[in-house]
């Protein structure tokens, strides 16, 4: 019998990882294709499971179609039950390597699955709809108006003067954000299991919140967003999105 040299043998495909779920996994949970049109499957171990698909590349480019396939699988899993979503690009060397990781972190996975059971993530962004953010804050601050007027009288002022007005603007912006988040959280907290504040994306953005909401409370959550928005003037725009997999509330430190 001729033996195939080790180097010439087909390499075992790696495992692209989408999420951790409870086991045993229902057949309908794996009834779709994932990245690169590969079928998804479950790797199970003592009440927990990894949802994965085969992949030959150790690294995958974050192209739109790949990211879309990743999120499509996770959204599908949401309809089946609670999941711990993996970040894009998590690849185990083999199914055996993925199973070893699953067993090593089983207790942590179960603890987080218990925490997130029956809950989804909702996003909320609050921003100022104004073409000139600085002018908006100047018009709402006597101190900034005084500094601005002094600069105009002085023909633009010195470099230190301009630095000072910039410092005062940043201080007021941060205080406005803190006040806005505090007021919003006071309204939303009764229907949220947790609220996380994420970095704002621009000067116009006053709040970027991730909210962990029980699925049974989603209608009440939306109603309370309207209640919170009613506390601000018309230049404040409230935009919410979801439900999403609870990315902001999953803390996995796994080694593949």
Q: Among 77, 79, 12, which residue's Cα sits nearest to residue 49? A: 77
* Shared domain check, 174 and 90: no
> What torsion, rounded to 10 degrees, do the Cα atoms 95, 101, 102, 104 define?
150
Query: Does a structural domain hold residue 256?
Result: no
* Shared domain check, 124 and 110: no
> In the chain, helix, strand, coil percent, each to 5?
45, 25, 30
Q: What share of the chain has pLDDT > 70, as a percent?
A: 82
Query: Does a structural domain hold residue 255?
Result: no
* Shared domain check, 138 and 93: no
Long-range contacts for 26-30 (Cβ within 8 Å, ≥24 apart)? 26/80, 28/80, 29/76, 29/77, 29/80, 29/81
Tens-place pLDDT, residues 24-76:
998 888 889 999 999 999 999 889 999 999 998 766 788 999 999 999 999 99
Domain that holds residue 112: 10-117
The pLDDT assigned to 203 comes to 86
* Shared domain check, 111 and 49: yes
Cα 118 off chain centre by: 18
Distance CA 17, CA 88 (A): 8
Distance CA 189, CA 39 (A): 40
* Comparison of pLDDT for 203 and 85, the residue scoring more: 85
Q: Which residue has the tokens 């939303």?
A: 188
Tens-place pLDDT, residues 118-136:
999 999 999 998 877 767 7
Tens-place pLDDT, residues 174-195:
888 999 999 999 999 999 999 9
Give the phi and the psi of residue 218 in degrees, each rounded to 5: -65, -40
Q: Which letter does DSSP use for residue 86 in this model? A: P
Q: Does residue 215 have a pLDDT over 90?
A: yes
The pLDDT assigned to 169 comes to 75
Q: Among 89, 126, 109, 6, which residue's Cα sits nearest to residue 48? A: 109
* Shared domain check, 110 and 125: no
The pLDDT assigned to 78 comes to 92
Mean pLDDT is lowest, of 4-13, 31-40, 152-161, 232-241, for 4-13
The pLDDT assigned to 138 comes to 66
The pLDDT assigned to 8 comes to 38
Counted domains in the chain: 2
What CATH number is attached to the domain comprising 186? Answer: 3.30.70.260
Contact 35, 70 (CB under 8 A): yes
* Comparison of pLDDT for 160 and 209, the residue scoring more: 209
The pLDDT assigned to 172 comes to 80
């Amino acid at each position: 019998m001729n033996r195939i040299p080790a180097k010439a043998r087909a390499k075992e495909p790696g495992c692209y990882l989408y999420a951790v779920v409870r086991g045993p996994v229902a057949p309908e949970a794996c009834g779709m294709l994932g990245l690169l049109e590969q079928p998804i499957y479950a790797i199970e171990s003592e009440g927990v499971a990894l949802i994965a698909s085969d992949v030959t590349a150790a690294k995958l480019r974050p192209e739109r179609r790949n990211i879309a396939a990743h999120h499509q699988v996770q959204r599908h899993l949401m309809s089946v039950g609670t999941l711990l979503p993996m970040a894009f690009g998590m690849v185990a060397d083999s199914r055996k390597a993925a199973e070893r990781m699953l067993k090593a972190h089983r207790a942590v996975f179960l603890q987080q699955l218990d925490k997130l059971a029956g809950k989804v993530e909702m996003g909320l962004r609050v921003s100022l709809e104004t073409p000139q953010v600085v002018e908006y804050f100047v018009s709402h601050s006597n101190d900034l108006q005084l500094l601005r007027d002094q600069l105009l009288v002085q023909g633009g002022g010195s470099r230190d003067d301009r630095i000072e007005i910039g410092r005062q603007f940043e201080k007021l912006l941060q205080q406005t954000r803190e006040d806005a988040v505090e007021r919003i959280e006071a309204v939303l907290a009764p229907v949220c299991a947790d609220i996380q504040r994420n970095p704002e994306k621009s000067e116009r953005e006053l709040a970027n919140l991730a909210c962990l909401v029980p699925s049974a409370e989603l209608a009440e959550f939306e109603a309370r967003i309207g209640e919170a928005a009613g506390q601000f003037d018309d230049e404040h725009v409230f935009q919410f999105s979801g439900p999403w997999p609870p990315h902001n509330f999953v803390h996995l430190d796994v080694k593949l």
